């Protein structure tokens, strides 16, 4: 599915804005046909936004189940001659869509785009009602997983239940990214499979244009200034060009690829895509970009902000890229789900490398959360979840494969890879991912141990999350160097693969100080990060350091969290803590290429 871009043959109308909204705690919307009759007592809701923090109602904030959205919009009569799509860039987690009271389709992957052809449902030149039911419920057939738990004890009212999930970010929900009408020609470019490479000073583009209907396809590569570099005919081709400037972190050189369809010599469709040429390889426990060993300096992030929750917000995205530049970071991980398409486009533009993670998070035993469970069983992470996981990877790769900034795919975060059945599960995930994209290395992010992970050997880079002196030996900054060095050496000796320290960090309440450093102070967070860095600096197989987290973020309420996770080196409002200033000092002089 292509990103909605306008061109001389395509029209895109963003219909985000103020929609009507109605929670459905009694689950009656479907039976009572709200999609036909209209929402009974709606309030206003911004789209995009998470619905949770917009009102003053705790019941809405903590609602688990279906909510409904409604919007009315006029369509130009002239679009009758086009193929018309209704496109949602993301709605968490499941959605059912109706147009003018009729069901048009559903979606199951809350962090990825979906669209429906709506020609037969709309009134041309008239008003059209869009109704969307969105559910934030979690189950074991979709990622991220979770389940509704009934308390069944005499200390809770009968039928009392809570939505449980084993991931540490608030289950924000709603229409999280923009909604568009996309009008394309009758015969049109439906999809583009594009692989970009840079080898022996040659830039290579291999593409396969999926055309709906009958038309001749041609492709032109331009510089950003519009100078023509190369022209090829056919919908499947390979370009090999000397003398182009490659894309690389810190020096993001981009070109424009223009795909055109014509019939009897006249243009019928045109789609332009920014592209960059670069290679990513693994060699001798290093990750090479364009043949040079790259060192990741950056963060695990979240899409998270006051009021709007997990929703798309251009101001926040651009602010974050400016902060990444300010601090001297060269990369981030889309922990723990695919981020907006615009974020990846900006990573291409800003020259920031991205580890693109799918929403496989929370696949762990829930001991921490009060229950000791096995996860990789047929009723949990079994064949249904595996099939969904593979499908989400297909959609993710199809969406993001053309971004030069994406240098690694991350298949999962902190899964229970020590369980027996995790072996076959992740063997299948890695081989599926490899067939989807043979051009990029694969990563798994581990919280298991070197001697019990059954999954790490199927991946090219192992991400390691560690919290020495925090969740273990709290307060003991002095044990970090001993424990971390031993741990990382063990991992490397066992798997002989590059390691990336994908998470380390401490909660710090902005403005809380303690010297000598005590837990939760800004000083402790800064010192802990420095202790980790001292160790990774001595280990040549460690290919990078990603601090957990870029900014403070919202989590479920629990005793370890003070209105959210405070491991950000920036506050949730993006103001620097002490650690941010120290990171800036280090990263501005530490080179990206070793
Ligand atoms: C790691 C998780 C991350 C959490 C972090 C923490 O990968 O999502 O937020 O711990 O506890 O286990 O701060």
pLDDT digit string, tens, across residues 485-534: 999 999 999 999 999 999 999 999 999 999 999 999 999 999 999 999 99
Has residue 559 been placed in a domain?
A: yes
Same-domain check for residues 239 and 367: no
Same-domain check for residues 548 and 533: yes
Has residue 385 been placed in a domain?
A: yes
Same-domain check for residues 30 and 55: yes
Q: How many domains does the chain have?
A: 3
CATH code of the domain in which 180 resides:
2.60.120.260
Q: Where does a domain end: 151, 184, 217? A: 184
Strand-pairing partners, residue 500, are 463
Same-domain check for residues 341 and 418: yes
Taking residues 190-216, report their average pLDDT: 95
Q: Residue 17 has which token pair?
A: 């804005």
Question: Contact, 408 vs 441, CB < 8 A?
Answer: yes
Same-domain check for residues 478 and 504: yes
Same-domain check for residues 313 and 430: yes
How many Å lie between the centroid of ligand 1 and the Cα of residue 308? 22
Same-domain check for residues 178 and 225: no
Q: How far apart are CA 531 and CA 391, in angstroms?
A: 40
- Closest atom of ligand 1 to 413 CA is 7
Query: Tens digit of pLDDT for each residue in 352-411?
Result: 999 999 999 999 976 554 556 789 999 999 999 999 999 999 999 999 999 999 999 999
Same-domain check for residues 248 and 299: no
Active-site residue, from 419, 446, 503, 523: 503
Query: Tens digit of pLDDT for each residue in 299-338?
Result: 999 999 999 999 999 999 999 999 999 999 999 999 999 9
Give the residue among 6, 79, 87 at the shortest CA–CA distance from 270.
6
Has residue 142 been placed in a domain?
A: no
Output the pTM of the full model. Answer: 0.98
Antiparallel, parallel or unpaired: β 66-74 and 17-23? antiparallel
How many Å lie between the centroid of ligand 1 and the Cα of residue 46? 30
Q: Whose CA is nearest to atom 3 of ligand 1?
A: 168
The answer to whether residue 11 is catalytic is no
Secondary-structure percent of the chain, ordered helix, strand, coil, rounded to 5: 20, 35, 45
Quote the DSSP letter at residue 143.
S
Taking residues 10-24, report their average pLDDT: 98
Active-site residue, from 303, 341, 414, 531: 414
The answer to whether residue 531 is catalytic is no
Same-domain check for residues 554 and 473: yes
Has residue 593 been placed in a domain?
A: no
Quote the domain boundaries for residue 252: 188-275
Q: Whose CA is nearest to atom 1 of ligand 1?
A: 465
Which residues form ligand 1's pocket by a CB distance below 6 Å?
Answer: 168, 336, 413-414, 447, 465, 503, 548, 565, 567
Has residue 394 been placed in a domain?
A: yes
- pLDDT above 70: percentage of residues in the chain: 99
Has residue 161 been placed in a domain?
A: no
Pocket test for ligand 1, best of 465, 469, 504 (most atoms within 8 A of CB): 465
Cα(first)–Cα(last) distance of the chain, in Å?
A: 37
How many Å lie between the centroid of ligand 1 and the Cα of residue 334? 13
Q: Where does a domain end: 150, 184, 218? A: 184
CATH code of the domain in which 496 resides:
3.20.20.80
Q: How far apart are CA 39 and CA 177, in angstroms?
A: 22
Q: Whose CA is nearest to atom 4 of ligand 1?
A: 168
CATH code of the domain in which 260 resides:
2.60.40.10
Work out the pLDDT band at 181, boundaries 50, 70, 90. Answer: very high
Same-domain check for residues 307 and 400: yes
Q: What angle do CA 103, 106, 107 make, to 5 degrees?
A: 165
How many Å lie between the centroid of ligand 1 and the Cα of residue 422? 20
Give the residue among 105, 124, 126 at the shortest CA–CA distance from 116.
105
Q: Is 349 helix (H, G, I), strand (E, B) or coil?
A: helix
Query: Tens digit of pLDDT for each residue in 257-278?
Result: 999 999 999 999 999 999 999 9
Has residue 25 been placed in a domain?
A: yes
How many Å lie between the centroid of ligand 1 and the Cα of residue 73? 42
Has residue 327 been placed in a domain?
A: yes
Antiparallel, parallel or unpaired: β 174-175 and 442-446? unpaired
Alpha-carbon Rg for the chain in angstroms = 24
Query: Tens digit of pLDDT for each residue in 86-106?
Result: 999 999 999 999 999 999 999
Same-domain check for residues 376 and 411: yes
Give the residue among 576, 547, 570 at the shortest CA–CA distance from 335.
547
- Nearby residues of 407 by Cβ (< 8 Å), 6 or more positions away: 280, 287, 289, 294, 331, 353, 354, 355, 440, 441
Q: Where does a domain end: 184, 213, 246? A: 184
Same-domain check for residues 271 and 176: no
């Amino acid at each position: 599915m292509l990103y909605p871009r306008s061109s001389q043959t395509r029209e895109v109308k963003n219909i985000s804005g103020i929609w009507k909204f109605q929670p459905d705690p009694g689950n009656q919307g479907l039976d009572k046909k709200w999609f036909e009759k209209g929402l009974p007592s709606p309030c206003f809701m911004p789209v995009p936004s998470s619905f949770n923090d917009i009102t003053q109602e705790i019941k809405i904030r903590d609602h688990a189940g279906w909510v409904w959205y409604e919007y009315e919009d006029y369509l130009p009569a002239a679009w009758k001659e086009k193929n018309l799509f209704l496109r949602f860039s993301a709605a968490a987690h499941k959605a059912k869509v109706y147009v003018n009271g009729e069901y048009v389709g559903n979606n199951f992957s809350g962090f990825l785009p979906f669209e429906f052809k709506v020609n037969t449902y709309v009134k041309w030149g008239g008003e059209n009602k869009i109704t969307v039911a969105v559910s934030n419920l979690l189950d074991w057939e979709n990622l991220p997983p979770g389940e509704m738990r009934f308390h069944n004890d005499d200390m809770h009212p009968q039928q009392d239940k809570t939505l449980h999930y084993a991931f540490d970010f608030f289950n924000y929900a709603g229409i999280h990214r923009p909604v568009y009408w996309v009008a394309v020609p009758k015969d049109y470019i439906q999809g583009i499979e594009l692989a970009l490479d840079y080898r022996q000073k040659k830039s290579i583009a291999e593409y396969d244009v999926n055309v709906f209907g009958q038309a001749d396809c041609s492709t032109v590569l331009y510089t950003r200034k519009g100078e023509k570099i190369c022209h090829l005919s056919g919908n499947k081709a390979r370009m090999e060009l000397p003398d182009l400037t490659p894309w690389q972190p810190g020096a993001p050189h981009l070109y424009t690829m223009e795909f055109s369809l014509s019939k009897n010599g006249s243009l019928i469709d045109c789609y332009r895509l920014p592209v960059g040429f670069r290679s990513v390889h693994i060699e001798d426990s290093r990750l090479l970009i364009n043949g040079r060993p790259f060192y990741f300096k950056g963060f695990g992030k979240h899409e998270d902000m006051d009021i709007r929750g997990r929703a798309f917000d251009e101001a926040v995205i651009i602010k974050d890229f400016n902060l990444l530049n300010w601090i001297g970071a060269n990369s981030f991980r889309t922990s723990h789900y695919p981020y907006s398409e615009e974020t990846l486009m900006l990573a291409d533009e800003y020259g920031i490398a991205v580890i693109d993670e799918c929403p496989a998070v929370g696949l762990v035993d829930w001991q921490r959360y009060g229950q000791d469970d096995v996860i990789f069983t047929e009723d949990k992470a079994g064949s249904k979840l595996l099939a969904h996981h593979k499908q989400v990877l297909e959609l993710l790769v199809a969406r993001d494969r053309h971004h030069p900034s994406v240098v690694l795919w991350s298949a999962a975060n902190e899964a229970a890879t020590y369980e027996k059945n995790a072996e076959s599960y992740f063997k299948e995930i890695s081989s599926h991912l490899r067939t989807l994209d043979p051009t990029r290395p694969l990563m798994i992010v581990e919280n298991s141990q070197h001697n019990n992970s059954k999954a790490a050997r199927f991946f090219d880079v192992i991400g390691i999350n560690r919290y020495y002196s925090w969740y273990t030996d709290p307060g003991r900054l002095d044990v970090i160097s001993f424990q971390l060095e031993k741990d990382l050496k063990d991992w490397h000796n066992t798997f002989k693969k590059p390691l990336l320290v994908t998470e380390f960090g401490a909660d710090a309440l902005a403005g809380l100080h303690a010297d000598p450093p005590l837990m939760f102070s800004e000083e402790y967070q800064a010192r802990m990060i420095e202790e980790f860095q001292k160790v990774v600096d001595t280990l040549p197989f460690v290919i990078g350091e990603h601090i957990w987290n870029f900014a403070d973020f919202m989590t479920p309420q629990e005793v370890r969290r003070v209105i959210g996770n405070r491991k950000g080196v920036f506050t949730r409002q993006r103001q620097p803590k002490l650690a941010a200033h120290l990171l800036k000092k280090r990263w501005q002089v530490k080179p990206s290429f070793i």
